[in-house]
Amino acid sequence: MKQYKITVIGLGLIGGSMAVDLKRRGFASRVMGVEADPVNAAAALKIGLVDQAVSYDRCLEDTDLVILAVPVGEAVRMLPEILDRIGSEKQDSGMKRHMTVIDVCSTKSALVRSVENHPCRDRYVSTHPMAGTEYSGPWAAMSGMFDGKACVICDGEKSGKDALETVENLYDVLNMRTIRMNAINHDMHAAYVSHISHVTSFALALTVLKKERSDRHIFDLASGGFSSTVRLAKSNADMWVPILTQNRDNILDVIDTYMDEMKAFRDAIASGDGDGIRGLIGEANRIKRIIK
């Protein structure tokens, strides 16, 4: 297998987990890591997520592939900078190197728009590996996290053929199946199937914390059902604030549908309409056929 020198910018849950498996499974001959937070950087080195820490300024030196694994707000700022630097290096070096840059963010439209007309647009591949946990930071990184999950590759026709091949190869090593979709559709579907469940989970946590004054009662009475429903409410604001703001219109649309469904439930319960409740539950149960 061809081996790559890779640089991971952002050594959190996603970046750290990719670093571990890409090295362990032989895709990467060497992993360099960029991490702005000094505690996280020290931990990532100590845990052994990367071979070497580098500064953001020097992160393109002697590397074949850059993985941008920072929150999407920062990614939108960094991606054009990185392509700029690839462009100027290409000029200096007579285009000897074919560096590839990917991001792994949960919203894609703003990112692809940020480099739409960039002369080095072909070096960038927009990807969303759909895996994770509610935890964050280098200590949350783990091997095998991506195995068997799906990864969306957006607007692939705008990336260079060799860059796409490298990225297909990378996700193959992570045991992910890749799905092609344009960035606008991705953001719409992601709002329906992923982002909304974070919002409902945050709202559930806020509700329980407000209604249930006793932490002890929550701890005692929370069965597995509640824990799994509220699990995503542990998710990190640094990651989710930019997702919810960037994907605003899709998320508002799906929140409105959701509020209508909640209201239908409320009305059926308020009027003691057992058949109505049964109909709604029966309809909701259809999810069984789709989600294991």
Nearer to a copy of itself, 88 or 185 (CB): 185
- Shortest separation between residue 139's beta carbon and a copy of itself, angstroms: 14
Considering the complex, state which of residue 53 and residue 130 has its C-beta at the smaller distance from a copy of itself.
130
Pick between residue 5 and residue 149 the one whose CB is nearest to a copy of itself.
149
Residue 169 C-beta: closest distance to a copy of itself, Å: 21
Query: Minimum Å distance from CB 210 to a copy of itself?
Result: 6
Q: Give me the least distance between CB of 154 and a copy of itself, in Å please.
A: 13
Q: Which is nearer to a copy of itself, 52 or 271 (CB)?
A: 271
Q: Which is nearer to a copy of itself, 56 or 135 (CB)?
A: 135
Cβ nearer to a copy of itself, comparing 6 with 174: 174
**CA 60 from chain center: how many Å?**
22
Of 111, 42, 22, 103, residue with least CA distance to 68: 103
Give the nearest distance from C-beta 171 to a copy of itself in angstroms.
14
> Cβ 75 to a copy of itself, closest distance in Å?
16
Structure tokens, 269:
């319960």
